[in-house]
Homo-oligomer: A and B are copies of this chain.
Amino acid sequence: MTRLQINEVAPRDGLQIEADFVPTEAKIAFIDALSATGLARIEATSFTSPKAIPNLRDAEEVVRGIRRRPGVDITVLVPNLRGCERALACGVDEINLVMSASDSHGLANLRMTPKQSLERFTEILAATQDDRVFVNASLSTAFGCPFEGEVPESRVIELVERLLERGVQGVTLCDTTGMANPGQVARLCEAVQERWPATPFTLHFHNTRGMGLANALAAWQTGITRFDASLGGLGGCPYAPGATGNVCTEDLVHMFEQMGVETGVDLDALLAVSAGLPELVGHDTPGQVVKAGKADRRYPMPKR
A residues at B contact (CB < 8 Å): 104, 107-108, 111, 144, 146-149, 178-184, 207-214, 216-218, 238-240, 242-244, 248, 251, 254-255, 258-260, 288-289, 291-302, 304
CA distance A2 to B4 in the complex (A): 34
* Contact with A288, one of B180, B210, B296, B301 (Cβ below 8 angstroms): B210
Question: Which one of B211, B259, B299 lies within 8 Å of A239 (CB-CB)?
Answer: B299
Q: Do residues B183 and A259 form an inter-chain contact, with CB atoms below 8 A? A: yes
A255 touching B213, Cβ below 8 Å: no
User: In the complex the two chains form, what is the Cα distance from A182 to B144 in whole Å?
Assistant: 26
What residue of chain B has the Cβ atom nearest to residue A242's Cβ?
Answer: B291
Q: Which residues on B sit within 8 Å (CB–CB) of A108? A: 301-302, 304
Contact across chains for A149 and B296 when beta carbons are under 8 A apart? yes
Q: Which residues of B contact A210 (CB under 8 A)?
A: 207, 212-213, 248, 251, 254-255, 288-289
Q: Are A244 and B288 in contact (CB under 8 A)?
A: yes
Could you write out 21 A-B pairs with CB less than 8 Å apart?
A: A104-B301, A107-B301, A108-B304, A146-B298, A147-B298, A149-B296, A149-B298, A181-B295, A183-B259, A207-B288, A209-B294, A210-B212, A210-B248, A210-B254, A210-B255, A210-B288, A214-B214, A239-B299, A239-B302, A240-B292, A240-B293
Identify the 3 closest CB pairs spanning chains A and B, nearest first: A181-B258, A183-B259, A243-B292
- From A303, which residue of chain B is reached at the shortest CB distance? B108
Residues of B within 8 A of A213 (CB): 210-211, 213-214
Q: How far is the CA of A107 from the CA of B300 in the complex (A)?
A: 13
Q: Complex Cα distance A183/B260, Å?
A: 8
Q: Are B259 and A295 in contact (CB under 8 A)?
A: no
Complex contacts, A179 vs chain B, CB 8 Å: 295-296
Could you tell me the distance between the alpha carbons of A107 and B288 in the complex, rounded to whole angstroms?
28
Cβ distance A158 to chain B, nearest Cβ, rounded Å: 23
Which residues on B sit within 8 Å (CB–CB) of A244?
288, 292
Residue numbers in B under 8 Å from A296 (CB-CB) = 149, 179
Q: Do the beta carbons of A146 and B297 come within 8 Å of each other?
A: yes
A190 to B289, CA, bound (A): 27
Cβ–Cβ < 8 Å partners of A212 in chain B: 210
Residue contact B292 to A254, C-beta cutoff 8 Å: no
Taken together as a complex, chains A and B put the C-alpha atoms of A160 and B304 apart, in Å, by: 29
In chain B, what residue has the closest Cβ to A243? B292
Which residues does chain B contribute within 8 Å of A259, judged by CB atoms?
181-184
Q: How far is the CA of A184 from the CA of B148 in the complex (A)?
A: 39
| Least Cβ–Cβ distance between A287 and chain B, in angstroms | 8
A209 CB contact (under 8 Å) in B208, B242, B254, B260: B254
Given A147-B298, A299-B146: A288 touches B208 (CB 8 Å cut-off)? yes
Distance between Cα atoms of A183 and B217 in the complex (Å): 10
